[in-house]
Structure 1
Amino acid sequence: MIVVIVAWAHEFAIEVGSKEPVLEIKRNIEQNLGVPIASQTLSVSGWELVDGLDMEDYPIVTEGTKIDLIIKPTLESLLNQPSKIQITVKFSSRQINIEVDRTETVRSLKEKIHIIDGTPIKRMLLYFCGIELDEDFRNLSEYGIREFSEIIVFLKTMNRLRDDPPSRKLSVIVQTSSSLLNAATIPVELKDSSTVNDLRELLLSNKILPHEDYLFIHKQRIMRDNCSLRWHGVESGDFLYVFKGTVSRGEY
């Protein structure tokens, strides 16, 4: 089943088994978000999910349940982690490496990019793992940014063609859930500039999927309807998982 991890005012979808241990879910979060297991507290409606138990012990956790992730830095992590880290800042056609402090703010990072690259701060949109760094005065560590993290830079402009590379065709695989078309795999070709809404309309108009509400998952993250496949980092050969239902994403 798909559950939704809520953290940093954003939401992340992950797939868990009906008997999945709580500790295994925390390992999954550590691998995908970079949050150490020891710093994680998971809860549902105020009830903490205890490490020694599994999903079978929590019948309140069902398809689409929102699990709150509270992050508490441990003394060990504060002592062992170097304050300075190297990150990669990627533009559409180039990338630069920058040394930053874990406690630096998003605004401070934008200022460094401006000094090194000359990009106007007002035009910058920064993304990490598909999530916009939209609060200038939050620390980079609050977004899960760590050593060798990759930050994507988009530029706000009236002429998007000047900043983004030309559209290219992608060949992806749409994988349905076991309850939808018996876990079918559907090859699809479309441009990387196509949005998730475009993909949904393609599948519906060709009667590949019945007319229902659907959500799409790429690399264990809920895809945004109005954003392009390029924005989500989709490449040829990637699997896009489709499930019936809708998810309230809170703040985006």
Structure 2
Amino acid sequence: MTMRVMISTIEGEFLIDVGHKETILEVKHKIEQLLGVPVAFQTLSIYGLELIDGLDMGDYPFVLEGTKIDLTIAPLQPPSQSDTMIQITIKTSSKKIHMEVDRTETVRSLKEKIHILDGIPIKRLMLHFSGIEMGEEFRSLSEYGICDQSEIIGFLKNTNRSITEPPSKRLSVLVQTSSCLLNSASIPLEIKDTSTVNELRKILLDGKVLPADDYFFIHKQRIMRDSFNLRWHGVENGDSLYVFKGTVSRGH
């Protein structure tokens, strides 16, 4: 299923056909072919909410036929090395590793550095950032949205392909509702990081915090998936989760 959306830049607007199952990164590649602007210099957003490369168009329920998507283009001059060096934290089940990396280096290069520092086998290391698996090792860190002070979660695969994860822990989070829901309420909540988004929704409904209706949740500008837990989404103690009325549907 395809739809036509409007891409808006400071120089004008143009229409482009996209599919519900098309990733944001694939849309950026289309724009690169049309405008000649490299993917790494593009930022797509709607009402200030950045569209994330690893998600599909269908992950954003407010993207419909005729929707206007803002395209911001970064300066095209090559940045100096000092501009691309950032500080990040790698969090595994046993420790936190702080390191300085270049945003232009690849995921594979980062895994090699982690292996040197901590001895974790590269083939068993899985990296996640804000709930998105950094599974394409040839892509740069910047393509996954990695910036200064980012925290990347590392999971260790067992030989039977299962994943070794740390024990569950309780989180204190703040559930923020939009102006059309409960007059922009801020709701403190204690919940395990192994709880799924569906379980979070049930807690809020059972406690009559939210009326019986359909809602989706956003964490750090990413739509949360119902069947995945808070740890998978990268939710940390003290984080805010935003609630919006509606459903997330995927095109067929």
Contact 2:129/2:234 (CA < 8 Å) preserved in 1?
Answer: no
The answer to whether residue 225 in structure 2 is matched with residue 227 in structure 1 is no
Q: C-alpha offsets along residues 4-51 of structure 1, whole Å, 9 cap, x if unaligned?
A: xx74369xxxxxxxxxxxxxxxxxxxxxxxx99xx446588xxxxxxx
Q: C-alpha offsets along residues 71-129 of structure 1, whole Å, 9 cap, x if unaligned?
A: 66621x42464565553322133122345444432122222322332212232221234
Alpha carbons of 1:184 and 1:40: their partners in 2 closer, same or farther (altered >3 Å)?
same
TM superposition score normalised by structure 2: 0.62
Q: Equivalent residue for 1:114?
A: 115
Q: For 1:183 and 1:205, locate their aligned partners in 2 and report how far apart those are by CA, in whole Å.
A: 20
Give the one of 53, 61, 64 matched to 2:62.
Answer: 64
Quote the RMSD (CA, aligned, Å).
Answer: 3.7
Contact 2:214/2:246 (CA < 8 Å) preserved in 1?
Answer: yes
Q: Equivalent residue for 1:241?
A: 242
Q: For 1:89 and 1:220, locate their aligned partners in 2 and report how far apart those are by CA, in whole Å.
A: 21
Q: For 1:43 and 1:194, locate their aligned partners in 2 and report how far apart those are by CA, in whole Å.
A: 29
Q: C-alpha offsets along residues 111-159 of structure 1, whole Å, 9 cap, x if unaligned?
A: 2322332212232221234432121111223223345543221223477
Alignment of 1:153-164 (within 5 A): 153-157=154-158, 163-164=165-166
Q: Equivalent residue for 1:124?
A: 125
**Secondary structure in structure 1 of the residue aligned to 2:189:** strand
Q: Equivalent residue for 1:17?
A: none
User: Which sections of structure 1, spanning at least 5 residues, go unmatched?
Assistant: 1-5, 11-34, 45-62
Alpha carbons of 1:222 and 1:120: their partners in 2 closer, same or farther (altered >3 Å)?
same
User: Which sections of structure 2, spanning at least 5 residues, go unmatched?
Assistant: 1-22, 28-38, 47-60
Alpha carbons of 1:176 and 1:8: their partners in 2 closer, same or farther (altered >3 Å)?
same
Contact 2:170/2:190 (CA < 8 Å) preserved in 1?
Answer: yes
Q: For 2:239 and 2:99, locate their aligned partners in 1 and report how far apart those are by CA, in whole Å.
A: 29
Contact 1:7/1:69 (CA < 8 Å) preserved in 2?
Answer: no
TM superposition score normalised by structure 1: 0.62
Q: Equivalent residue for 1:210?
A: 211
Q: For 1:150 and 1:238, locate their aligned partners in 2 and report how far apart those are by CA, in whole Å.
A: 13
Q: For 2:103 and 2:42, locate their aligned partners in 1 and report how far apart those are by CA, in whole Å.
A: 18
Q: Equivalent residue for 1:135?
A: 136
Q: For 1:81 and 1:249, locate their aligned partners in 2 and report how far apart those are by CA, in whole Å.
A: 41
**Seq. identity, %:** 63
